[in-house]
Amino acid sequence: MRATLSVLLAAAALVAILPGAQAQLRCPEGRTSAGECVNPALAQVMRKSAIINAQPKISYTAPPLLPSEDGTYLLPRDHHEAANLYYYPPVIRSTTLRP
Amino acid sequence: MSLWNSLNRAGLTALACIVVPVAHAASAPPAWEATFNTEARYYSWTSNRGFPGTTTASAAGGSGSQLMVPFAFGLNGKPNDDWRTEFLIRSAYYWSKQTSAGMSGQSDGLTDTSLTGTFTYYGIAGIQPFTSLTLNLPTGRSNQQGTAAFSKLDQDVVSTPTFGEGFNAGPTVGANIPIGASMIVSASFGYTYRGPFNREGDVNQIGLLPTGTTRLDPGDVFTANIGFGASLGQNWQVQGSASYSWETTTTLNGDDFYRAGGRYALQAIVTYLWDPMWTSKLSASFQGFARNDVRSPPITGIVPELFNSNSNVTKISFDTTYKTAMFAIGPSVSFVYRDHNAWSPTDFRFLPAKNTWSGGVSAQYTPMQMVSLNANVQRIWLREDANPGILAPNGMPMVRTDAWAITFGATIKN
């Protein structure tokens, strides 16, 4: 029983190490409906853009990007909000803003 | 027999767990990729007005500088073929100073810290759904008392208008839908909860120093986004997106105060590979805003403003890069146009248009596969039109601000 288990374990290890058919067909960013591998660099850019664009006001000081990616993905921030809510002196007064 | 099967399964599973990552490391990128990235960004500006330029005290002109050092650590990996997980933690250290008549001050410290987790599923051919959650932890200082309040600088020069805010939680769900191997449509929907925080209170009537604090609860944001990206042949890459955001009401000390109008954003990026060494990229974006709801005493609550006080923003940038195995270098230019700029805090009018030109050079050096260093030098020119309607009797003159932005960065990955 122990010998059989050892043989099976060794065989499993060999299958895992060898670049079999399954490994050759692996697509790092998934497949199209026709079964082609998706361009991985394009897929990563599109996913990151979709997430950043869906969070336009998350964390002014630490957006969810590597610092080197800020220039690539971030749009200019809302100037009106910066002037009203964050700058000093604040637009916010006890009487506040109006048209 | 049942025990034998169980032992076999357990043994194979355990061995596979140990061996598979080793096999990936030998034949493919590592199963887990760790990245550390930091930049040191130094900004220096001079202007014929202090910042903000809408106060009488700013007439004597001013200058300022800021050092912003964002740093982040990311860990990306595929626990199995069907899933990809990405984690990121980011924060920054800053030092900021303004030297302007009556508005001089400085501050330093840690900014807020964000935590992000993203999960992508690859088990379905033709669609790759993902979900992401970002948390903003309020480790920075949102309430700058005394002269430190003047150290907040123009976000058209520096990278952030503040050094801290409240707790944020931003979940996103979406999917990449590949039309072909190199043509993808993406769709996403995000919600951003923005928690309350304290900030400087009313302006002292004698001077400009803040008195007390106010409790601000920014509106939450909902955003729907759709994108398109494609690699066309060997040379062209195009990318575009359109999004629409709407917000809930911002409250000040518990009272309804403001609600931003709906915002739409359009973006397009075209990249052309001239040859293996030369690449050019043209980017353009436009953001438009609908009217806000504001207070209008003596009416209680908030009502739609009489005219749209928001500024539509157009940005165009262009760069060209020459790249070899270890070096990359190239010029870049950009132009940002705000068709009207901001509210005057003293006269309740909006200020005129503002445009920002910048030009500079970027370079990158990759001495080894694990390490890359980058540098960027930009000269920035901001011009805000004269506004005769405020700061009587002479009005506010054209604001001329010239600035330098210098960045050094490093990336280390396994």
Q: Which residues of A touch B224 (CB under 8 A)?
A: 54
- Mapped onto helix, strand or coil, the DSSP state of residue A90 is coil
Inter-chain CB proximity A79 and B342 less than 8 Å: yes
Q: How confident is the model at residue A65 (pLDDT cuts 50, 70, 90)?
A: very high
> So what's the pLDDT on residue B349?
59
Mean pLDDT is highest, among A42-51, A73-82, B295-304, for A42-51
Residue pair B365/B372 in contact by the 8 Å Cβ criterion? yes
Chain B CB within 8 Å of residue A7 CB: no
> So what's the pLDDT on residue B295?
81
Which B residues, 162 through 191, put their C-beta within 8 Å of a C-beta on chain A?
Answer: 162-165, 168, 170, 172, 174, 176, 178-182, 184, 186-190
Q: Which residues of A touch B15 (CB under 8 A)?
A: 9, 12-13, 16
Q: Residue A13: is its pLDDT beyond 50? A: no
Give percent above pLDDT 90 in chain A: 46
Chain A CB within 8 Å of residue B300 CB: no
- Tell me which CATH code domain B31-413 carries: 2.40.160
Chain B CB within 8 Å of residue A2 CB: no
Inter-chain CB proximity B241 and A53 less than 8 Å: yes
Q: Residue B3: is its pLDDT beyond 70? A: no
Ordered by start, the domain boundaries in chain A are: 27-94
B50 or B222, which is more confident?
A: B222
Distance from chain centroid for Cα B48: 28
The first and second tokens of residue A52, run together, are: 């950043």
Helix H or strand E encompassing B51:
none
Q: Amino acid identity, residue B297? A: P
Q: Which residues of B touch A81 (CB under 8 A)?
A: 218, 260
Ordered by start, the domain boundaries in chain B are: 1-30, 31-413
Nearest CA in chain A to B134: A64
> So what's the pLDDT on residue B258?
87
Q: Counting one residue from A and one from B, how many pairs have CB atoms under 8 Å apart?
A: 338
A45 phi-psi bin (left φ>0, alpha ψ -120 to 50, beta other): alpha
Q: Residue A90: is its pLDDT beyond 70? A: no
Distance CA B18, CA B30 (A): 14
Inter-chain CB proximity A66 and B74 less than 8 Å: yes
> So what's the pLDDT on residue A7?
38
Write the ipTM.
Answer: 0.88
What does the pLDDT average to over B216-244? 96
What does the pLDDT average to over A39-59? 97
**Mean pLDDT, all residues of chain B:** 87
Asked whether the whole model's pTM tops 0.95, one would answer no
Task: Give just the sign of the alpha carbon dihedral B337, B38, B131, B112.
Answer: negative
